[in-house]
Amino acid sequence: MNEFELIERYFAKVGPSRGDVLLGVGDDAALLRVAAGQELVACTDTLVDGRHFPVGTRSDDVGWRALAVNLSDLAAMGASPAWATLALTLPAADEDWLEGFAAGFAALAQLHGVALVGGDTTQGPLTITVQALGLVPAGSALRRTGAQPGDLVYVTGWPGDAAAGLALLEGRLAGQGANRGALETKFRRPEPRVAFGQRLRGVASAAIDVSDGLAQDLGRLAAASGVAAVVRAQELPLSRALYALAGEARARDYVLAGGDDYELLFTVPPAARGALAAAMAASGAPACHCIGEIVAGRGVRVLGERGELPVPRGWDHFAT
Ligand code: ADP
Ligand code: MG
């Protein structure tokens, strides 16, 4: 199988065919139509073997993840995903591996209507870079910068589960049965909050997706907005599976610092609480928990029942 055959076999027709793709895979570049009144939202994320997923991870999970982490960034902007490109560096053209990878990627692409419109294929240590492109009505994208004192802080779903799932896979946490399965699945198959992100347009004052740990990503949102955030430890959502396997104190650490959640963390002004309730009541909306509030100042504080708790650090590739 040469490079051309590989692209043709696995990547020429991934995702739905979209009318706004004037040219997809096959030419020197893709040609895409952005409708009048829409803005293009672009993001990219790289996965490195053994760094972003354990060596030996099933290739269908790697393919899913490569797109999921990018769709999560689009979700945090309130964008509707449209297109993606894929730069793939492979040690070898292993057909079984490629078959699985393309299937995992395509499954999520199909779910969110994303067409794969181009990419690059090279030989080297396994590294996957995806660029995702989405659309928002002009002027309506969510940003990290709009949080104001008095806004409430919310998070979707069950942060901490994915990090505990990875810890189980790597033998740093013990557990069996349904709880183990549930947490491992949360790591293996993150579900970006794409539809809910779009529902937060005009509702949230600021938003970020949680990839490097809730406390750290909340710190980024607060810093970008020029405010501080106060989190109430007893309001942090702990999934039943996480609570059962990690116990309360450790579960909270996973929630605050775990990473790989791909949940949405967002702030809502008091006047928009009714609109948030409507968004949360929509069919398919994820669970949402209010975990604290925005105040004047800087940084993130976590308040326990008996005073302030240390804020655990999240993920940083270049931490010294
Ligand atoms: P060029 O050498 O002109 O950059 P390539 O041979 O790299 O062209 O790619 C040929 C076509 O296949 C291009 O349209 C490119 O976008 C697409 N392509 C290459 N690799 C991938 C991939 N992994 N996934 C999707 N499309 C790809
Ligand atoms: Mg090329």
Quote the CA–CA distance of 258 and 272 in Å, as a whole number: 30
Nearest ligand 1 atom to the CA of 4 is 6
Which residue has the least CA distance to atom 2 on ligand 1? 28
Q: State if residue 109 touches ligand 1 by the CB under 6 angstroms criterion.
A: no
Q: Which ligand is nearest to the CA of 98?
A: 1
Neighbours of ion ligand 2 (CB under 5 A): 120
- 294 band by pLDDT with thresholds 50, 70 and 90: very high
Cα 83 to ligand 1 centroid, rounded to whole Å: 15
Q: State if residue 118 touches ligand 1 by the CB under 6 angstroms criterion.
A: yes
Domains belonging to the chain, first-starting first, are 3-137 (3.30.1330.10), 152-309 (3.90.650.10)
**Other C-beta atoms lying within 10 Å of the C-beta of residue 310:** 10
- 186 band by pLDDT with thresholds 50, 70 and 90: very high
Check residue 317 and give its pLDDT.
73
Check residue 313 and give its pLDDT.
80
Q: What percent of the chain has pLDDT over 70?
A: 99
- 316 band by pLDDT with thresholds 50, 70 and 90: confident
Q: Compute the average pLDDT of residues 38-52.
A: 97
- 314 band by pLDDT with thresholds 50, 70 and 90: confident
Cα 31 to ligand 1 centroid, rounded to whole Å: 13
- 1 band by pLDDT with thresholds 50, 70 and 90: confident
Q: Compute the average pLDDT of residues 215-225.
A: 98
Task: Indicate whether 319 pLDDT > 90.
Answer: no
Check residue 320 and give its pLDDT.
60
pLDDT digits (tens, 9 = 90+) for 232-260: 999 999 999 999 999 999 999 999 999 99
In order, the DSSP letters of 86-118 are EEEEESS--HHHHHHHHHHHHHHHHHTTPEEEE
pLDDT digits (tens, 9 = 90+) for 136-157: 999 999 999 999 999 999 999 9
pLDDT digits (tens, 9 = 90+) for 301-310: 999 999 999 8
Cα 3 to ligand 2 centroid, rounded to whole Å: 11
